[in-house]
A and B are shown apart, each in its own frame.
Chain A
Amino acid sequence: MPMIQLMNIEKHFAGQTVVHPLSLTIREGEFLTLLGPSGCGKTTILRMIAGFEQPTVGEIFLDGKDVTELPANKRDLNLVFQHYALFPHMTVEQNIQFGLKMKKIDAAEQKERIGEAIRLTQLTPLAKRYPHQLSGGQQQRVAIARAIANKPRVLLLDEPLGALDLQLRKNLQAELKQLQRSLGITFVYVTHDQEEAMMMSDRIVIMNNGKIEQIGTPKEIYNRPQTLFAATFIGENNVFHEAERMFAIRPEKLKAVRDREQKAKRKGIIQDIVYLGNVHKLMVHLNDEQTTVSICLDFTDEDEWQIGQHIGVDWFDADEVNIGL
């Protein structure tokens, strides 16, 4: 069941095309991530779904209804803002209550929903505090509680963890994913952090320069990138050019072979060796191509490798992933 449909939408700002014509279907109950570098148009798409921007061309459907002209306050979805946007003059509880009050939900149900949202986000001891008395992670939880109390059909999240430190971000990533599973709400998540996208999403939309590069599950995107951008933006990759075609091979699919065996597909010199604990990497400069490839060796590799050593670089044909330009 499609929950959100973007039909040939396009967005211009002051004569500049920020989002090139694109169509996208977001399914009910899925965790979909819009992933791309800053300025790729991902936040603009999210804001168009939320109703803060109007597409220059095209239509947006929410649960089968055309909402293109509908203002933000009449759309049955909620946005978690990047910098939380908590109301500073209201307590945690009042912040969560705000949306329910605006929708004129009766007092008994308000109370029940506030209680549920506070419990789900583990905010019970902080209910009477003001936002400035909370840490960044706690403020983030309030922003999420405030959104889910409205029981929206869709929750939009605009880099919600961007301002938090790494450890906290990892914890909240797991919590958010848990929350999405237990609520069953459709999540549309915007981030520039590819690891975050890989960890949380059912599907990822990779964006670059206002265009969609690829849509797929994390596994599809990692194993079968379709474009050069998709191949290099997610994880580490080695790109080879051969006559008319271009293909990518992941570092863990490359094999280092000693020169004397003579049957490798490429030859090169080891430039550097990097130890990362569970794996180590050889950085190999290829003889015939002006490029350095990275070969990932797991802990079972016992060979002695030295910088400056001439080696062969080999792989299975099946591991070549053709990528377009």
Chain B
Amino acid sequence: MKQKTNPLLSIHAYLVMAFIYLPVLMILIFSFNNSRINSTWEGFTFKWYGSLFQNRNVMDALMNSLTIAFTSTVIATVLGTVAALALRNAVRKSKTVLGMLYLPIVVPDIIMGLSLLLLFSQFHFPLGKWTIIIAHVTFSISYVYVIVASRISGMGKQLEEAAQDLGASPWQTFRYITLPAIWPGVLAGAIMAFTLSIDDFMISFFVAGPDSTTLPIYIYGLVKRGISPEINALCTIMIIVSVGLILIAQWLQNKGNRGKKASTLPF
């Protein structure tokens, strides 16, 4: 049966969409603008994308971002997955443990950044790539944990018991049964961690050193001297990469979860 909808409601829905996506769309459009000035349109061009890759500062920042993202992703994925495996029984008993693992997701970035800066200066830890990596690992673990834990709880204990019953040692059970079963979740968690690291500005800004400018920090620096079309091009690339990665993560998370859709992310 087709339900009649008030036309005003669908207009409202389109307006909400426009509200959300208009700013992103602006950046995307103006990254192809032939003019140096953002406000006027003077024809279509790819030249900003070209000059972006010629720019040494941009490339340095990109390399920093990728190094940090890759390293923090590997560390956070291993630690988050191990935590999810270790806490699978404890969490059922204690809501406190669960709450403590979720906390970094809801703590404001500015507080995370500030507290990490305090911690590093307390221990006279020199600010640089490693401090950013450590900072990114701290918040990425929570995301990896949440995604992998949901995968584990969906799996149940029976498969592992069946493996043990067939003579598999604890390690063989993990290697041949548990890991393949949770692998899509681990991969999804890793992609999530990578995306968060690439995109993070606030926390990185607090704990970055002079030689560790990441892409978001670099963009912020550029903006202070006025928004150039190059930034638009850079932002467009970042948006596309992030959205692409998140979609892959979501697809992995749902893959193999036949019937029951994973609900770790709201899309």
Residues of A within 8 A of B (CB): 50-52, 71-74, 78-79, 81, 83, 85-89, 98-99, 102-103, 132, 146, 150
CB B93 to nearest CB in A, in angstroms, measures: 10
Q: Please determine whether B164 and A72 come into contact, CB atoms closer than 8 angstroms.
A: yes
CB A18 to nearest CB in B, in angstroms, measures: 18
Q: Please determine whether A73 and B161 come into contact, CB atoms closer than 8 angstroms.
A: no
Q: Report the bound CA distance from A87 to B165 in whole Å.
A: 13
Name the one of B166, B167, B181 contacting A89, with C-beta atoms under 8 angstroms: B181
B12 interface residue per 8 A CB criterion: no
Chain B residues near A132: list those with CB within 8 A. 258
CB B258 to nearest CB in A, in angstroms, measures: 7
Q: Report the bound CA distance from A146 to B159 in whole Å.
A: 13
CB B186 to nearest CB in A, in angstroms, measures: 14
Q: Report the bound CA distance from A220 to B168 in whole Å.
A: 41
B172 interface residue per 8 A CB criterion: yes
Q: Report the bound CA distance from A81 to B164 in whole Å.
A: 12
| Given A88-B256, A89-B180, A102-B172, A78-B161 contact (CB < 8 Å) | no
Q: Please determine whether A85 and B172 come into contact, CB atoms closer than 8 angstroms.
A: no
Name the one of A87, A88, A102 contacting B167, with C-beta atoms under 8 angstroms: A102
Chain B residues near A78: list those with CB within 8 A. 165-166
Name the one of B158, B167, B177, B258 contacting A73, with C-beta atoms under 8 angstroms: B167
Interface residues on B, range: 10 to 19
Interface string of B146-179 (1 = CB under 8 A from A): 0000000000001101111111110011001100
CB A105 to nearest CB in B, in angstroms, measures: 10
Name the one of B169, B172, B177, B256 contacting A87, with C-beta atoms under 8 angstroms: B177
Q: Please determine whether B159 and A85 come into contact, CB atoms closer than 8 angstroms.
A: yes
| Given A102-B166, A102-B172, A150-B166, A52-B161 contact (CB < 8 Å) | yes
Q: Report the bound CA distance from A98 to B162 in whole Å.
A: 10
Q: Please determine whether B167 and A85 come into contact, CB atoms closer than 8 angstroms.
A: no
Name the one of A52, A71, A87 contacting B159, with C-beta atoms under 8 angstroms: A87
CB A141 to nearest CB in B, in angstroms, measures: 15
Name the one of B166, B180, B256 contacting A98, with C-beta atoms under 8 angstroms: B166
Chain B residues near A89: list those with CB within 8 A. 180-181
Chain A residues near B258: list those with CB within 8 A. 132
Q: Report the bound CA distance from A85 to B165 in whole Å.
A: 11
Q: Report the bound CA distance from A140 to B161 in whole Å.
A: 17
Q: A98-B168, A102-B167 are in contact. List 9 more A-B contacts (CB 8 A).
A: A72-B164, A78-B166, A81-B161, A83-B158, A85-B162, A89-B180, A98-B166, A99-B167, A102-B166
Q: Report the bound CA distance from A71 to B162 in whole Å.
A: 13
CB B215 to nearest CB in A, in angstroms, measures: 38
Q: Please determine whether B181 and A88 come into contact, CB atoms closer than 8 angstroms.
A: yes
Q: Please determine whether A79 and B165 come into contact, CB atoms closer than 8 angstroms.
A: yes
15 A-B contacts (beta carbon < 8 Å): A51-B164, A72-B161, A72-B165, A73-B164, A78-B165, A79-B162, A79-B165, A83-B158, A85-B158, A87-B159, A89-B180, A102-B163, A102-B167, A103-B167, A146-B166
Name the one of A73, A83, A86 contacting B165, with C-beta atoms under 8 angstroms: A73
Q: Report the bound CA distance from A247 to B19 in whole Å.
A: 80
Write the chain A residue with the least CB distance to B165: A79
CB A153 to nearest CB in B, in angstroms, measures: 14
Q: Report the bound CA distance from A249 to B167 in whole Å.
A: 49
Name the one of B159, B168, B180, B256 contacting A102, with C-beta atoms under 8 angstroms: B168
Write the chain A residue with the least CB distance to B256: A88
Chain A residues near B158: list those with CB within 8 A. 81, 83, 85
Within B11-54, which residues are at the interface with A (CB < 8 Å)?
none
Q: Most chain-A CB neighbours within 10 Å: which of B161, B162, B165, B177?
A: B165
Q: Report the bound CA distance from A78 to B172 in whole Å.
A: 17
Q: Please determine whether B165 and A98 come into contact, CB atoms closer than 8 angstroms.
A: no
Chain B residues near A86: list those with CB within 8 A. 162
Write the chain B residue with the least CB distance to A104: B167
Chain B residues near A87: list those with CB within 8 A. 159, 162-163, 177
Q: Report the bound CA distance from A73 to B162 in whole Å.
A: 9
Chain A residues near B173: list those with CB within 8 A. 73
CB B161 to nearest CB in A, in angstroms, measures: 6
Q: Please determine whether B165 and A50 come into contact, CB atoms closer than 8 angstroms.
A: yes
Chain A residues near B167: list those with CB within 8 A. 73-74, 99, 102-103, 150
CB B206 to nearest CB in A, in angstroms, measures: 43
Chain A residues near B162: list those with CB within 8 A. 79, 81, 85-87
Q: Report the bound CA distance from A74 to B256 in whole Å.
A: 31
Within B122-165, which residues are at the interface with A (CB < 8 Å)?
158-159, 161-165
Chain B residues near A50: list those with CB within 8 A. 165
Write the chain B residue with the least CB distance to A149: B166
Q: Please determine whether A99 and B256 come into contact, CB atoms closer than 8 angstroms.
A: no
Chain A residues near B177: list those with CB within 8 A. 87
